[in-house]
């Protein structure tokens, strides 16, 4: 993103962090509202409620950590210094601390300036928030239409719960490889616990993942290859 836009990497990181905060906030809000409705209407198993509580707490903790690091320049500076020191030790002296420190400080300053700009110009957040909610709804409707195609009636709140948990598991930085099978098992299990037959849960999960994972991987892979080819082409010079 930094190479394509020509912007400082710190500002790009700030925009990515802002997007992460927005996504986590919408996901957490959807999870809380849908869970409250489902509990009142359907009385789900305690195991589901415990899992939802753990995911919700993990999401909140992650958001607090991101907010803290975004606002505390001294804390992020210490983390960067530790990472640079680790790189210096791994390289066995081939990289010098001071040579890495200077561009890192420049990037950190741009990052915190970008975060501060997001906080002071809140009027500019109206469009991203609106588009984020619309994107969340469209993404959610994939699973809804999958069940409709299977001619299976399912509570909309149940779909929201499973979708929100699956997104939260991928968002929380706890090292779970959510895109390599774990998420598929999780989604199918949650649908089953919420009262959907296991065979239907498995098929619905598979069809949903074809759209939300494999199609995106295919399109993303082609896009990455195209961008790589573009970057290798010599830039044209005026006559």
Q: How many CB atoms lie within 10 A of CB 170?
A: 16
pLDDT tens digit string along 181-222?
Answer: 778 888 899 899 888 999 999 999 999 988 888 888 888 888
**Contact (Cβ atoms closer than 8 angstroms) between residue 190 and residue 162:** yes
Per residue in 37-82, pLDDT (tens digit) is 888 887 777 888 888 888 888 888 888 888 888 888 888 888 888 8
Q: Do 172 and 58 form a contact (C-beta atoms < 8 A)? A: yes
Q: Where are the domains of the chain?
A: 2-232
Residue 27 has which token pair?
């996901």
Q: What is the pTM of this model?
A: 0.71
- Give the DSSP letter string of 14-80: HHHHHHHHHHHHHHHHHHHHHHHHHHHHH---HHHHHHHHHHHHHHHHHHHHHHHHHH-HHHHHHHH
- Asked whether residue 237 carries a pLDDT value surpassing 60, the answer given is no
pLDDT in tens, 90-109: 877 677 777 777 788 877 87
Distance CA 147, CA 232 (A): 45
pLDDT of residue 203: 93
């Amino acid at each position: 993103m930094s190479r394509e836009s020509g912007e400082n990497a710190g500002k790009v990181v700030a925009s990515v962090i802002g997007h992460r905060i927005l996504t986590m906030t919408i996901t957490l809000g959807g999870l809380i509202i849908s869970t409250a409705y489902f509990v009142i209407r359907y009385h789900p198993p305690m195991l589901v409620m415990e899992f939802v509580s753990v995911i919700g707490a993990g999401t909140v903790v992650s958001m607090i950590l991101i907010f803290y690091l975004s606002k505390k320049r001294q804390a992020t500076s210490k983390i960067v210094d530790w990472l640079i020191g680790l790189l210096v030790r791994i390289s066995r002296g081939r990289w010098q601390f001071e040579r890495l420190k200077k561009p890192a400080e420049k990037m950190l300053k741009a990052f915190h300036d970008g975060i501060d700009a997001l906080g002071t110009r809140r009027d500019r957040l109206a469009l991203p928030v609106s588009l984020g909610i619309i994107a969340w709804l469209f993404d959610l409707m994939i699973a809804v239409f999958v069940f409709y195609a299977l001619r299976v009636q399912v509570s909309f709140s149940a779909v929201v719960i499973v979708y929100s948990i699956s997104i939260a598991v991928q968002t929380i930085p706890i090292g779970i490889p959510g895109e390599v099978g774990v998420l598929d098992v999780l989604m199918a299990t949650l649908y089953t616990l919420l009262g959907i037959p296991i065979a239907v849960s498995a098929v619905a999960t598979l069809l949903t993942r074809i759209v939300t994972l494999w199609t995106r991987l295919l399109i993303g892979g082609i896009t990455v290859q195209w961008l790589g080819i573009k970057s290798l082409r010599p830039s044209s010079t005026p006559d």
